[in-house]
Structure 1
Amino acid sequence: MANKNQNERAAIDIGLSEDDRLKISQGLSGLLADSYTLYLMTHNFHWNVKGPMFNTLHVMFMQQYTEQWGALDLIAERIRALGHPAPGTYKEFVQLATIREVEGVPKALEMVRYLVDAQEAAARTARGLFPLVDAANDQPTADLLTQRLEVHEKTAWMLRSLLEE
């Protein structure tokens, strides 16, 4: 009997149905994919930016990818807490992400434009999960989404400000 119990997955009873936990985990997997793609894009631009705004953008991009790196763990751990595996391969991220990779090395202000678009895409992905999360009464996920929205919207605004005359 002990062996049987060891091989069975422990039942999860946190007040959310299996169906809700699955759907929320799937949505969060899309957010994780967008977040990882955004992280990688920002880190890439940090490494490769050049021009008159080099120092400003290099430092700004580092702050942004560092914050984004921490968010990846929070999102993945929420998926795990809901009882599902978090995606963790480039193949999965490419399939799930709404943000597309940038080819080559754009000029500095093009990098900023790409990042504005990517930050806004991540915000849309997070915001799109609220109806499901609200209907399931999943406050921890709602809190995570609210925090991510605040960061993505503020970062998009700050980056967009660099594009204004």
Structure 2
Amino acid sequence: MAKSSKADNTAGTRINIGISDKDRGAISAELSKVLADSYTLYLMTHNFHWNVTGPLFNTLHLMFMTQYTEEWNALDDIAERIRALGVHAPGTYREFAKLSSISEPQNVPDALEMVRLLVKGNEAVSKTARAAFSIADDANDQPTADLLTQRMDIHEKNAWMLRSLLE
């Protein structure tokens, strides 16, 4: 969970963007879960990029690199939105592990199991983002809703592409 849902008064100015402190706290708490799921998926995807083997090596190695690069870049956008709402973004493995809905594998799976796990991971991020979207939408927070819509689109597309490899 985000460290504080109180307004960030470090500059001596109260945040006044048309979203209540309570709503900013609730939105930030949900965005923190999206950030945790996104970071966990990023780590898993990068790990699989390093460790994939087998006949699909080149295809998966390149696909995983494309996906983890996009995921890495998105982390900053999510964390900065949390900060724009006046809350500290989670940023430790401990916080991410506590907030994430994604379980990492204990061992290095085979290539097709990597694909299955990444399908589930992308779907998990999309579900977490969809739950956060509902709260942002209810609070009339269009920038967060837009960010979450983009994340859902990307993760649902990634899941579809990965799922296509299993057919």
TM-score, normalisation: structure 1: 0.94
1:9: how far off? Answer: 4.2
Identity of aligned residues (%): 67
Give the letter aligned to residue 21 of structure 2.
E
1:56: how far off? Answer: 0.4
1:111 aligns with 2:114: yes
Q: Whole-Å Cα distance in 2 between the matches of residues 121 and 85 of structure 1?
A: 23
Q: Whole-Å Cα distance in 1 between the matches of residues 142 and 64 of structure 2?
A: 31
1:146: how far off? Answer: 0.4
| Preserved CA contact (<8 Å) 2:42 2:68 | yes
Of 118, 121, 125, the residue aligned with 1:122 is: 125
Distance 1:98 1:9, change over 3 A: farther
Q: Whole-Å Cα distance in 2 between the matches of residues 111 and 7 of structure 1?
A: 44
1:132: how far off? Answer: 1.1
Unaligned stretches of 5+ residues in structure 2 = 1-8
C-alpha deviations, 1:54-74, integer Å up to 9, x for none? 000000000000000000000
Aligned Cα RMSD in Å?
1.2
Say which one has the larger Rg.
Answer: 1
Give the letter aligned to residue 38 of structure 1.
L
- The size of the alignment, in residue pairs, is 159
Aligned to 2:59: 56
1:132 aligns with 2:128: no
Q: Aligned runs of 1:1-150 on 2, under 5 Å?
A: 9-150=12-153
Q: Which has the higher helix share?
A: 1
Runs of 4+ in 1 over 6 A off after TM superposition: none
C-alpha deviations, 1:63-121, integer Å up to 9, x for none? 00000000000000000000000000000000000001111110000000000000000
Of 134, 142, 155, the residue aligned with 1:152 is: 155
Unaligned stretches of 5+ residues in structure 1 = 1-5
TM-score, normalisation: structure 2: 0.93
